[in-house]
Amino acid sequence: MLDISVKAPAKINLTLDVLHRREDGYHDLEMVMTTVDLADRIDLTETSSGISLESTSGFVPHDDRNLAYRAAALIKKRFGIQKGVHIHIHKHIPVAAGLAGGSSDAAAVLKGLNRMWDLGLSVEELAALGLELGSDVPFCVTGGTAIARGRGEILTPLPSPPPCWVILAKPPHGVSTAEVFGALRLEDIRKRPDLDAMVEALRNQDFDGICRNLSNVLEEVTIPAYPQVRRLKERMIRFGGEGVLMSGSGPTVFGLVRRENTAKRVVNGLRGFCRQVYAVRMMGGLEANT
Ligand code: C5P
């Protein structure tokens, strides 16, 4: 019997800045994140005990290496739940892509189990639990558009971008976030995002301003290691991408365009060059997380 189904949308970074390295090994970040209409679906079925997981993707582990599995284990342990759950992940978000797919799956499990087991947890409490699983999970619990600071858990909601299309192109290789942060030399960062300008552009629903202010310091690490990311960016711009950036630690590149026709042109221009290409709608403003 299917009990609960939860949507787990991908996120992109409109800006990403790394402020400094912390004593605990993490970095203090300052970034603007927004959800896009590319989502996994998580079906949760109550069982008598234990946790089991299946997925439509061959690329995700089915045990406690999977963040969604760990989310269920955390809830069971923290609240002393004897019942079990079967998690079925219908995977649509590329894996190890810089799109927070695994974090969003985990957030969806937290939200779904909160309902299934009547735990009565608030969004803030779910986000705090999420931080125990990964830095992007709190944002994935709340969704929408927000400035994320600290490890990623200090969230300030923002107006979402105006309606537009987002082209996502994922090179064949995955990228390890830990390796990218490990290779980042803060003293070498040349260009930092202008957070105020991005916030202003979002407040004014200024599409061109958003495009002009897209900026991610992690490009300086990932692009030299994976030149295909730069080529993808160049190609996206050539075919009509109005604002183009790598998301998170990469390697996915996204392009923003206003018109559907342009979105089609960019997608066609990338086919043959990159196998995983999607054109989806920006969805920060819509309720993405139910
Ligand atoms: O929190 P999460 O497990 O997603 O982070 C993965 C890795 O990314 C961490 O082990 C760390 O190396 C790096 N990271 C960081 N600072 C952050 C978030 C992530 O250094 N704020």
Per-residue confidence band for 290, with pLDDT thresholds at 50, 70 and 90: very low
User: Do 273 and 183 belong together in one domain?
Assistant: yes
User: Do 123 and 14 belong together in one domain?
Assistant: yes
Which residue has the least CA distance to atom 4 on ligand 1? 134
pLDDT tens digits for range 46-60: 999 999 999 999 888
What is the pLDDT averaged over residues 236-249? 97
Does the C-beta of 27 come closer than 6 Å to ligand 1? yes
Give, for ligand 1, the residue of 181, 184, 216, 218 to mutate: max count of ligand atoms closer than 8 Å to Cβ.
Answer: 181
Q: How high is the mean pLDDT of the chain?
A: 95
pLDDT tens digits for range 96-152: 999 999 999 999 999 999 999 999 999 999 999 999 999 999 999 999 999 999 999
User: Do 16 and 114 belong together in one domain?
Assistant: yes
Which residue has the least CA distance to atom 2 on ligand 1? 134
Lowest-pLDDT range of 189-193, 194-198, 249-253, 286-290: 286-290
- Asked whether residue 47 is domain-assigned, the answer is yes
CB-based contact 59:49 (threshold 8 Å): no
> Which atom of ligand 1 is the closest one to the Cα of 103?
4
The pLDDT, as a whole number, for residue 287 is 47
Count of domains observed in the chain = 2
Backbone angles phi, psi at 42, to 5 degrees: -115, 120
ipTM, interface predicted TM-score of the complex: 0.98
Which residue has the least CA distance to atom 11 on ligand 1? 178
- Asked whether residue 289 is domain-assigned, the answer is no
> Residue 205 is part of a domain; what is its CATH number?
3.30.70.890
pLDDT tens digits for range 172-195: 988 999 999 999 999 999 999 999
Query: If you measure from the C-alpha of residue 180 to the centroid of ligand 1, how many angstroms do you get, rounded to a whole number?
Result: 9
Residue 32 has pLDDT above 70, yes or no: yes
**What is the identity of the amino acid at 202?**
L
What is the pLDDT averaged over residues 1-22? 93
Does the C-beta of 29 come closer than 6 Å to ligand 1? yes
> Which atom of ligand 1 is the closest one to the Cα of 151?
21
What is the pLDDT averaged over residues 256-272? 95
User: Do 103 and 129 belong together in one domain?
Assistant: yes
Domain encompassing residue 8: 4-157
The reply to whether 43 belongs to the active site is no
User: Do 248 and 277 belong together in one domain?
Assistant: yes
Query: If you measure from the C-alpha of residue 137 to the centroid of ligand 1, how many angstroms do you get, rounded to a whole number?
Result: 11
List CB contacts of 21: < 8 A, sequence separation 6 or more.
Answer: 27, 186
User: Do 66 and 179 belong together in one domain?
Assistant: no
Token pair in block for residue 206: 């200024």
Per-residue confidence band for 1, with pLDDT thresholds at 50, 70 and 90: low
**What is the identity of the amino acid at 174?**
G
What share of the chain has pLDDT > 90, as a percent?
Answer: 92
282 closest CA partner among 144, 121, 124:
144
Catalytic site residue from 111, 136, 170, 233: 136
The alpha-helical segments, DSSP class H, found in 101-226 are: 101-116, 123-131, 137-142, 177-183, 195-203, 207-212, 219-225
The reply to whether 136 belongs to the active site is yes
- Residue whose structure tokens are 């590329």: 94
What is the pLDDT averaged over residues 7-16? 98
User: Do 90 and 193 belong together in one domain?
Assistant: no
User: Do 11 and 150 belong together in one domain?
Assistant: yes
The pLDDT, as a whole number, for residue 283 is 80
Residue 66 has pLDDT above 70, yes or no: yes
